[in-house]
Amino acid sequence: MAFAFDYIGSSRMIYNMKQNNFNALGGINLKLDDIKSVIEFGQLGKGKIVLHSSSKDDTTDRLSKVFNASILDDSIPPTSVQSFLEARPSLTTVVITNHGKNFKIDTTTVSWTTGKILVLIEMIVTGESAPQSANLPIPLEDFVAEMLYCYIQSAKCIQFHAASTSGAKLINQILLLYVGVHRAPNAVTTLTGQILALLTGEKLSDMNETTCHKNRLTWMGGYNFTEICINSTVNYSTAVSPAFIINSKAGDNARR
């Protein structure tokens, strides 16, 4: 799992898991024990890459080799992965930064090359640094370029079409990226989840649209309009602190 949440996002995700309420698109109830490791992006400016790790295992070793990075054991900074460690201290967590034990404010630009970023994306999506995932219909570099086009040029693009329901109408403009206020499902949030499901989910070629929906799975247009049923652990959570829910329940109990 890789993410860049704030504390509200990570604490709400963990709260939902503890309440057995983290239901993925495929109807799977994801639990904390199902997560092998968590990777978070911290400050990434100029300088040598440092991996702040809660424990050393094959995940940190692979990252260290790929990026020629040093590993600082038991050095997790005050980031949102702390929420995961509080809930499950044995979980492998890694925060990727360009600073050591002492944090320094750095206003310079990110020094990561496109190649480094692509390799990390490949590791996150496929679990391997090579060869390229069979889930990708085109070379990884082209795929990332197409993804960027979807977000910063037009939502009427190949990747969003593939990840949408069959026959979905996408607007030929940039989607609103502001998702800070919870009112209604945000189009770009939904499409991002669908893209992740398409990349990481299990493709069930033996199911038609009717069977797919009956099994609470996700039916997508697919690449080249082939249409496909996807079983995925992707989930959407409301970005509201669990403190509001807990306080609300406490208030209800007090009034009884």
For residue 89, is pLDDT > 80? Answer: yes
Q: What is the pLDDT of residue 155?
A: 93
H-helix or E-strand containing 195?
A: helix 187-200
**Mean of the per-residue pLDDT values of the chain:** 77
Place of tokens 């033996």: 206
Q: What is the pLDDT of residue 29?
A: 80
Of residues 36 and 253, the one with the higher pLDDT is 36
Most confident segment among 86-100, 118-132, 230-244: 86-100
pLDDT digit string, tens, across residues 165-174:
888 889 999 9
Q: Sort 170 into a burial class: Cβ within 10 Å, 0-12 / 13-18 / 19+.
A: middle
Phi, psi dihedrals of residue 156, rounded to the nearest 5°: -85, 80
Q: Which two tokens stand for residue 224?
A: 């080249």
236-256: average pLDDT? 65
pLDDT digit string, tens, across residues 32-70:
888 888 888 777 767 788 899 988 778 888 888 877 888
DSSP string, 114-155: HHHHHHHHHHHHHS-SSS--TT-SS-HHHHHHHHHHHHHT-S
Q: Which of 239, 255, 178, 253 is nearest to 11 (CA)?
A: 239
For residue 179, is pLDDT > 80? Answer: no
112-120: average pLDDT? 56
pLDDT digit string, tens, across residues 99-110:
777 766 555 545
Q: What is the pLDDT of residue 124?
A: 57
For residue 143, is pLDDT > 70? Answer: yes
